[in-house]
Amino acid sequence: MTYEIIGGSFPVVECRLEANESMITESGSMVWMSSNMEMSTSGTGGFGRLFSGENIFQNIYTAKGGPGLIAFGSSFPGSIVAVNVSQKEWIFQKSAFLASEAGVKVSVDFKKKLGTGLFGGEGFIMQRFSGRGLAFIEVDGSIRKITLGAGQKIIVDTGNVLGYQSGVSMEIVTVKGIKNKLFGGEGLFNTVLTGPGEVWLQTMPISSVAGAIIPYLPTSGSN
**CATH classification at residue 128:** 3.60.160.10
Structure confidence at residue 209 (pLDDT): 60
39 near 61, Cβ under 8 Å? yes
Instruction: Return the SS3 of 15.
Output: strand
Instruction: Tell me whether residue 123 is in a domain.
Output: yes
The helix/strand/coil state of 77 is coil
Instruction: Decide if 33 is inside a domain.
Output: yes
Any domain includes 222: no
Tell me which residues of the chain have a pLDDT lower than 70.
43-56, 111-123, 175-188, 206-216, 219-223
Contact 155, 189 (CB under 8 A): no
Cα–Cα distance for residue pair 192/94, rounded to 1 Å: 18
Tell me how far apart the alpha carbons of residues 193 and 215 are, in angstroms, rounded to a whole number: 32
Report pLDDT for 87: 84
| Residue closest to 97 by CA, chosen among 112, 81, 113 | 81
Cα distances from 79 to residues 16, 99, 202, in angstroms, run 20, 14, 9
Residue 213 lies in a domain: no
pLDDT in tens, 69-81: 999 998 888 999 9
Contact 60, 22 (CB under 8 A): yes
In a domain, 223, yes or no: no
Identity at 116, one-letter amino acid code: T
Q: Is residue 214 part of a domain?
A: no
Specify the number of domains making up the chain.
1
Residue at 69 is within a domain: yes
Q: Is residue 93 part of a domain?
A: yes
Look up the domain containing 141 and give its range: 2-208
Please report the pLDDT score of residue 110 as a whole number.
76
**Span 196-220, pLDDT tens digits:** 999 999 998 766 565 556 666 776 5
